[in-house]
Chain A
Amino acid sequence: MKKTILIKPNTPAKEIVSQVRSAEGVFITSTGMRDAGQSDFKNRHRIHDLLLLAPFYNNMGLFSSECHGGARWHVGVMNRKEDPFEEIDMLRELMPNVLLQTLIRETNLFGYRPYPKNVIEHVVSRVDIDVWRCFSFLNDVRNMRTVAEAVMKRGRLFEPAISFTQADWTTNSYYLGLVQEMVSLCGGTDEIILCIKDMAGVGSPSRISSLVDAIKQKYPEILVQYHRHSTDGLAMPALLAAAKSGAKILDAQEDTFTRFYGQAPVLGLIAYLEESGITVNIDKDYVDASVQKVREWISQYEWAESPFKGYDYNVTKHRMPGGAFPSSFEQAEQGGFLHLMPAILTVMSLYNRIVKYFDVTPGSQITWVTCSGIVNRYDKERGKAGVRHIIELLTKFVEEKAQRIDKMDKSEQEELKMLFRNAPGDFKNLIMGGYGKLPMGWPDEWVYESAFGDEWKEKIKERKDESPLESVPHDDLSALRSEFADLIGRSPSDEEFILYLMHPKDAVELLAFREKYGDAPLHLPTNVWREGLNNPGDKVEFELWGKPYCIELVSKGAEHEGLIHVVMKVNNKTRVYTVETPRARKAEIRMAKAASDIGAPINGSVWRIGNPERGALKAGDIVHKGEEIANLEAMKMENAIAAPFDGQIVEVCVKLNDTVQEGQLLFVIEKV
């Protein structure tokens, strides 16, 4: 049997490309550690479980493991409470033979706003990833320049992706234009891989075959990777078609991960390719072992699966990407408008033809928020009839009148010109050029009138044609770093700072969580992570820093006055934990917030309000800067509180002998 080729990290980009080029057949990128979870399990797959696959991946002969980026980064920080940097470290240790791959947005990186050049350079040069798949939801190749340069400068492999959809305007020549821009951005085809990113899963086999063929004819040496979701049910034939036309790398995932919106099942795909005469560089025993391993734990994630089950051929119309599809259903369910989903998807398919770009992050979010907002507004104001009405109106406008607004009735024109008035800021930023240029040019003028009202003409004048890389001013990194340090009360590591650059609020929360709960997200098995221990005698065992630990539940009390007592044995020592329930009666403690609020500098008791000269102070009294207005005693030490400015007391918020905590509001003083 032929030996499987292992492509190892630290191989120069050029050598990786030539190795793949010269090898027979195709390679597989496993999306098991990223997109599989994103598409069907809301990115909840924990590194604790994914690590179990790493030893198999290490010998499997994958082209790469996509284990990083996309929304996995943010969901890690926000929900799984994992740090993307520690994930890389753990994977590197367990699978040193495998190229680690990320998915990155050109100017939004792992966040959502367009970042300035200096932030992009800072981040890309500090994340230890081998293969950088980079896409633009506008297919604005100009936006990729900074990431491309930073990756290639490090000698890592850059993989520019064309965002693919199937529409009348996305022709081969349109895509060839993009490929040409990418090739010239990257100085040829020898150090890159070109990705066709079919993120919704809409490319028909013949369409894909034709596109790959067209690219390979123009650039015979270029390596093409086809990334495709399964949503329309046609993934396998489309992948085979791509391979037959010359794609060298295909994305697949463990069959046991496969639901509806992720990638194709890997064992099935291999069999299908081989039967068609295409060899696959992979060791099937390891693939099989990995597929079986998933079975051991995947049932723990049923709660994370989409409420919307089954393939959806209608994706070819609404084009919502695999990653965003389940999460929009989840949002609809939480927002109580799941019943409006069919209408929203219909409106999305019409909207797609009015404002043309690709529904992938952050575009998919803009589309979703804009369209679900429109449908919800009509539903709220006019009920079911309203929802029907807006669909009819848009259908008439798009399909019958070919988007000629002047052909619509006067009242319909007025209504369309209000359509985007409440659209989210991101939508407005998009049509103002904040993300780059739209692939088919700017939308019609009425869209601006609709979004901006009377100011629309000025807004069109302000619209930017340059890439955000040129227009977004540099961030002051050292100022941001010290702002972050202030928030967490210590100086952050380089990695923590990058988390903050991407998602400031969530990064601060993650650090607070980890400060409080340590490495719980890394060491607890998923059932305990999610549900804790339920019955007396249930226990969880783990190793921490090379030492064994055991936590065993002894008993769980009933809720009483907002508290539950949990008795556990931690390494045989009994401990009682008092847990506050959300219903815990919390004494309303007002904290000093505004500049006029005078807070307690320490915990203590208020033994004097006022000062010896004037006696007690009350609301209405005038105080002078530096004058003592109260005195706190703590452990027998006095602490004078001085008025920070001249002012009049609006409110005395504590009583004599009150015990106050640090930061608690003592006075409200109005400046005079």
Chain B
Amino acid sequence: MEKEIKKILIANRGVPAVRIMHTCRDLMIPTTAVYSTPDRLAQHVLMADTAVHIGEAPPVESYLNMDKLIDAAICTGSDAVHPGWGFLAENHLFAQKVIDAGLTWIGPSPKVIEMMGDKIRAKQIAKKAHIPTVPGIDNVQNADDILKWMKKDDVSFPIMLKASAGGGGKGMVKVEKADHLSQAFAQTQSEAKKAFGDSTILAEKYIERGRHIEVQVVADTYGNVIHLFERECTLQRRNQKIIEEAPSPTLDSGLRQEICFTAVRLMREIGYSTAGTVEFIFDINTRKFYFLEVNTRLQVEHGITELMTGLDIVSIMIDVARGKVLPFEQDQIVPNRWALEVRLNAEDPKNFSPSFGTITRMQIPDGPGVRIANGVYEGADIPPYYDSLFMLLMTAGPDREDAIKTMDRALSKNLRVEGVKTLAPLLLSIIRHPLFISGDFSTRFIEEHMAELISMFKEKNSEDEALKIARYVAEISALGPQKWM
């Protein structure tokens, strides 16, 4: 049954909120933004049709505050809620509250979110559906449980501890040896509790030199499940992706078919609807893939799938929420481009230490083959309370080499961000690295090559150099002749 959506509240901020608002504008649907105190003048607020203040800076008081979000929707006449990614996107209680308040939830059903949100249960379901899974142990109570399991199943270090309720790289700790186990266990528990409100932990074998490959799926509420092919998200730092591409340079067409249909099979099995992702780890040595988890939400890197297929995934989500049938079939999805994405985080590229502050200058890349998903504007603040991601740079070309060349241009010649440090120099070093170019990398690539990548940073251009001179002129103009002269 189709229903109308008159106005959408986006229960998010920054890049995801802005991204969703773009599609809402395309669909002529007005939007409501929500904001915490430091976000009062943020880009997503300025872009929305109406905006509601929902609390102070700490996320629990604002972007995680379910009641305030629902109140905001009701009092602004918004009849649907899109959660974006992060914050409450995978919180089934919130989804349920939205539905109970008579609003449309733009996402999968609370039941599916809950089922897949519990990593232990998700894995059991996958096993039952004969989908290969990584050896592991669920619901660990203490470090000893892990040691016993490792002995019993003949698993050796390294292993990975994860928050059962986790995702997005948070609440994940890799353990190299037994000595570190107990502290790592405590840290995972605490992070899990803080980030997801649930301290249940699972442990898994860590697949060395693994590749991280995920399949984008869209489904309607009538049982139609279609995949939009895969993305490769192997390049990570601290378990958070920073470069993604579609398609994966790792898979041949046989494996591609197999992994994509495996994903579809699982999603059909669990009765999934709207956009979602099935994540796999691919063991390059055995050429086997294992199920990791289902992300029951829009993902950061969905844009490269859009570039590759020409579809608008957010628009599909809204249509599915309106009760529409998917307007295409599997064989109509024909990817014809190679797309690459880098995440521009406000971080020191040498050590990933966060760099918050005011963006004093911002020049956004343009030219053919470039797509930008931006959460800020020149003059905006990046507050210290939230995610450091503030811009996604995507490029596309007929093949991988072209996509990389265009990304090189965007990063090295077009982009300028001043006021905060960004990962741009590191991202540029990575895409210029011969191993990246040849497609030969694992999830540990960045940690293994960090010193080399840093040594590739030093590239000057005349514009930067001229601005340094201008900074000098400004200071001396203000302060007059200096003692040291």
Q: Could you tell me the distance in whole angstroms from the C-beta of B178 to the nearest C-beta in chain A?
A: 15
Cross-chain contact of A518 among B360, B361, B465 (Cβ < 8 A) = B465
Q: Are B485 and A520 in contact (CB under 8 A)?
A: no
Q: Are A637 and B384 in contact (CB under 8 A)?
A: no
Partner-binding segment picked from A108-116, A228-236, A602-610: A602-610
**Residue B26 lies at the interface, judged by CB distance under 8 Å to chain A:** no
Q: Are A635 and B478 in contact (CB under 8 A)?
A: no
Q: Which residues of A contact B145 (CB under 8 A)?
A: none
**In the bound complex, CA of A255 to CA of B102 (Å):** 92
Q: Are B186 and A568 in contact (CB under 8 A)?
A: no
| Shortest Cβ distance from A491 into B: residue | B455
Partner-binding segment picked from B93-101, B212-220, B266-274, B468-476: B468-476
Q: Could you tell me the distance in whole angstroms from the C-beta of A444 to the nearest C-beta in chain B?
A: 42
| Shortest Cβ distance from A600 into B: residue | B353
**Residue B38 lies at the interface, judged by CB distance under 8 Å to chain A:** no
A555-572 to B contact mask, C-beta < 8 Å, 1/0: 010000000101010110
Q: Are B477 and A566 in contact (CB under 8 A)?
A: yes
Q: Chain B interface: which size bin? A: 35 or more
Q: Are A634 and B470 in contact (CB under 8 A)?
A: no
Q: Are A602 and B473 in contact (CB under 8 A)?
A: no
Q: Which residues of B contact A636 (CB under 8 A)?
A: 170, 195, 386-387
Q: Could you tell me the distance in whole angstroms from the C-beta of B163 to the nearest C-beta in chain A?
A: 12
Q: Are A603 and B354 in contact (CB under 8 A)?
A: yes
Q: Are B485 and A524 in contact (CB under 8 A)?
A: no
Cross-chain contact of A575 among B190, B195, B361, B484 (Cβ < 8 A) = B361
**In the bound complex, CA of A490 to CA of B455 (Å):** 8
**Residue B367 lies at the interface, judged by CB distance under 8 Å to chain A:** no
**In the bound complex, CA of A101 to CA of B355 (Å):** 48
Q: Which residues of B contact A520 (CB under 8 A)?
A: 468-469, 472-473
**Residue A441 lies at the interface, judged by CB distance under 8 Å to chain B:** no
Cross-chain contact of B354 among A524, A540, A604 (Cβ < 8 A) = A604
| Shortest Cβ distance from B195 into A: residue | A636
**In the bound complex, CA of A517 to CA of B388 (Å):** 28
Asked whether A581 and B474 contact (CB < 8 A) given A516-B468, A602-B353, A604-B354, the answer is no
Q: Are B469 and A519 in contact (CB under 8 A)?
A: yes
**In the bound complex, CA of A144 to CA of B103 (Å):** 90
**Residue B480 lies at the interface, judged by CB distance under 8 Å to chain A:** yes
**Residue B479 lies at the interface, judged by CB distance under 8 Å to chain A:** yes
Asked whether A524 and B238 contact (CB < 8 A) given A79-B485, A556-B478, the answer is no
| Shortest Cβ distance from A78 into B: residue | B484
Q: Which residues of B contact A311 (CB under 8 A)?
A: none
Which of B191, B354, B474, B475 is packed against the most chain A CB atoms within 10 Å?
B474
Q: Are A540 and B473 in contact (CB under 8 A)?
A: yes
Q: Which residues of B contact A549 (CB under 8 A)?
A: 462, 466, 469
Main secondary structure of the interface of B (DSSP, over half): helix
Cross-chain contact of A635 among B354, B361, B484 (Cβ < 8 A) = B354
Cross-chain contact of A534 among B238, B462, B464, B477 (Cβ < 8 A) = B477
Partner-binding segment picked from A117-125, A450-458, A525-533: A525-533
Q: Are B473 and A568 in contact (CB under 8 A)?
A: yes
Q: Are B478 and A579 in contact (CB under 8 A)?
A: yes
Q: Could you tell me the distance in whole angstroms from the C-beta of B15 to the nearest C-beta in chain A?
A: 14
| Shortest Cβ distance from B464 into A: residue | A518
Asked whether A575 and B469 contact (CB < 8 A) given A530-B476, A533-B477, A612-B190, the answer is no
| Shortest Cβ distance from B363 into A: residue | A573
Q: Which residues of A contact B356 (CB under 8 A)?
A: 603
| Shortest Cβ distance from B460 into A: residue | A518
**In the bound complex, CA of A575 to CA of B479 (Å):** 18
Q: Could you tell me the distance in whole angstroms from the C-beta of A534 to the nearest C-beta in chain B?
A: 7
Q: Could you tell me the distance in whole angstroms from the C-beta of B467 to the nearest C-beta in chain A?
A: 7
Q: Are B476 and A532 in contact (CB under 8 A)?
A: yes
Q: Are B353 and A524 in contact (CB under 8 A)?
A: no
Q: Are A612 and B481 in contact (CB under 8 A)?
A: no
**Residue A340 lies at the interface, judged by CB distance under 8 Å to chain B:** no
**Residue B187 lies at the interface, judged by CB distance under 8 Å to chain A:** yes
Q: Are B183 and A532 in contact (CB under 8 A)?
A: no
**In the bound complex, CA of A137 to CA of B478 (Å):** 44
**Residue A624 lies at the interface, judged by CB distance under 8 Å to chain B:** no
B433-460 to A contact mask, C-beta < 8 Å, 1/0: 0000000000000000000000100100
Q: Are B475 and A579 in contact (CB under 8 A)?
A: yes
**Residue A551 lies at the interface, judged by CB distance under 8 Å to chain B:** yes
**In the bound complex, CA of A551 to CA of B190 (Å):** 53
Cross-chain contact of A581 among B186, B455, B478 (Cβ < 8 A) = B478
Which of A530, A534, A540, A551 is packed against the most chain B CB atoms within 10 Å?
A551
| Shortest Cβ distance from A553 into B: residue | B477
Q: Are B478 and A640 in contact (CB under 8 A)?
A: no
Q: Are A529 and B476 in contact (CB under 8 A)?
A: yes
**In the bound complex, CA of A662 to CA of B351 (Å):** 11
Q: Are B481 and A530 in contact (CB under 8 A)?
A: yes
Q: Are B186 and A612 in contact (CB under 8 A)?
A: yes
Q: Which residues of A contact B238 (CB under 8 A)?
A: 637
CB interface residues, A 593-635, toward B, < 8 Å: 602-605, 612, 628, 634-635
CB interface residues, A 613-672, toward B, < 8 Å: 628, 634-638, 640, 659, 662
**Residue A479 lies at the interface, judged by CB distance under 8 Å to chain B:** no
Cross-chain contact of B481 among A531, A603, A662 (Cβ < 8 A) = A531
**In the bound complex, CA of A605 to CA of B473 (Å):** 35
**In the bound complex, CA of A519 to CA of B462 (Å):** 10
**In the bound complex, CA of A79 to CA of B483 (Å):** 9
Q: Which residues of A contact B481 (CB under 8 A)?
A: 303, 530-531
Q: Could you tell me the distance in whole angstroms from the C-beta of B203 to the nearest C-beta in chain A?
A: 19
Q: Which residues of B contact A564 (CB under 8 A)?
A: 478-479
Q: Are B477 and A556 in contact (CB under 8 A)?
A: yes
**Residue A523 lies at the interface, judged by CB distance under 8 Å to chain B:** yes
Which of B458, B468, B473, B476 is packed against the most chain A CB atoms within 10 Å?
B473
CB interface residues, A 21-51, toward B, < 8 Å: 44
**Residue A174 lies at the interface, judged by CB distance under 8 Å to chain B:** no
**Residue A547 lies at the interface, judged by CB distance under 8 Å to chain B:** yes
**Residue A587 lies at the interface, judged by CB distance under 8 Å to chain B:** no
**Residue A169 lies at the interface, judged by CB distance under 8 Å to chain B:** no
| Shortest Cβ distance from B240 into A: residue | A637
Q: Are A533 and B479 in contact (CB under 8 A)?
A: no
**In the bound complex, CA of A603 to CA of B458 (Å):** 24
Q: Which residues of A contact B471 (CB under 8 A)?
A: 516-517, 577
**Residue A544 lies at the interface, judged by CB distance under 8 Å to chain B:** yes
Q: Could you tell me the distance in whole angstroms from the C-beta of B127 to the nearest C-beta in chain A?
A: 31
Asked whether A532 and B480 contact (CB < 8 A) given A523-B469, A524-B473, A579-B475, the answer is yes
| Shortest Cβ distance from B346 into A: residue | A635
Q: Are B361 and A79 in contact (CB under 8 A)?
A: no
Q: Are A603 and B478 in contact (CB under 8 A)?
A: no
Asked whether A533 and B473 contact (CB < 8 A) given A544-B462, A636-B170, the answer is yes
Q: Which residues of B contact A516 (CB under 8 A)?
A: 468, 471
**In the bound complex, CA of A575 to CA of B480 (Å):** 19
Cross-chain contact of A603 among B353, B465, B470, B476 (Cβ < 8 A) = B353
Cross-chain contact of B353 among A528, A544, A662 (Cβ < 8 A) = A662
Q: Could you tell me the distance in whole angstroms from the C-beta of A294 to the nearest C-beta in chain B?
A: 20
**In the bound complex, CA of A348 to CA of B388 (Å):** 65
Q: Could you tell me the distance in whole angstroms from the C-beta of B449 to the nearest C-beta in chain A?
A: 17
Q: Are B470 and A570 in contact (CB under 8 A)?
A: yes
Q: Which residues of B contact A532 (CB under 8 A)?
A: 473-480
| Shortest Cβ distance from A559 into B: residue | B478
CB interface residues, B 308-362, toward A, < 8 Å: 347, 351, 353-356, 360-361
**In the bound complex, CA of A551 to CA of B470 (Å):** 7
Interface residues of B (CB under 8 A from A): 170, 183, 186-187, 190-191, 194-195, 238, 347, 351, 353-356, 360-361, 384, 386-388, 455, 458, 462, 464-481, 484-485
Pick the 6 closest A-B CB pairs, nearest first: A532-B477, A518-B468, A577-B474, A532-B476, A579-B478, A520-B472
A/B interface sample: 12 pairs, CB < 8 A: A79-B485, A517-B469, A518-B472, A520-B473, A571-B466, A577-B470, A577-B474, A602-B354, A603-B384, A604-B384, A634-B353, A635-B386
Given contacts A634-B353, A636-B386, A636-B387, 10 further A-B contacts (CB under 8 A): A533-B477, A549-B466, A575-B361, A576-B360, A577-B474, A577-B478, A579-B478, A628-B183, A634-B384, A638-B190
